[in-house]
Amino acid sequence: MGAMPTYLVERYLPGHDRAWLEAALSRLPHRGDGGVTYLGSVYVPTDEACLCRFQADDAQRVRDANVLAGLPFARIVAVIELGTTHSGHHGEDTS
């Protein structure tokens, strides 16, 4: 059996600040509840945007979890993660 697919949720949040986003993200499933696990996010405040990673059996489960948590989103796409370590950093030196 292969690894569970990873999905990226793209969201634009005009009028919402980091505190609102953190509260909303806390409502997402973190342990596979409903067949979906929230893995983390990258927030870009200057663009009022957020990208969130999930593992799930399919995109519909990711959609359902976001709707249930009351989080708006622009799209959900399957992704392939490349070259990350457990700490989330690439192995190269960026200095």
Q: Give the pLDDT mean for 80-86.
A: 76
Phi, then psi, of 16 in degrees rounded to 5: -115, 140
Give the residue-averaged pLDDT of 79-89: 72
Alpha-carbon span 70 to 67, nearest angstrom: 5
CATH superfamily assigned to domain 6-79? ORF SCO4226, nickel-binding ferredoxin-like monomer (3.30.70.3090)
Q: CA 29, CA 53: separation in Å to the nearest integer?
A: 12
Q: Is the pLDDT at 69 greater than 80, yes or no?
A: yes
Domains of the chain, by residue range, sit at: 6-79
pLDDT of residue 92: 47
**pTM as predicted:** 0.81
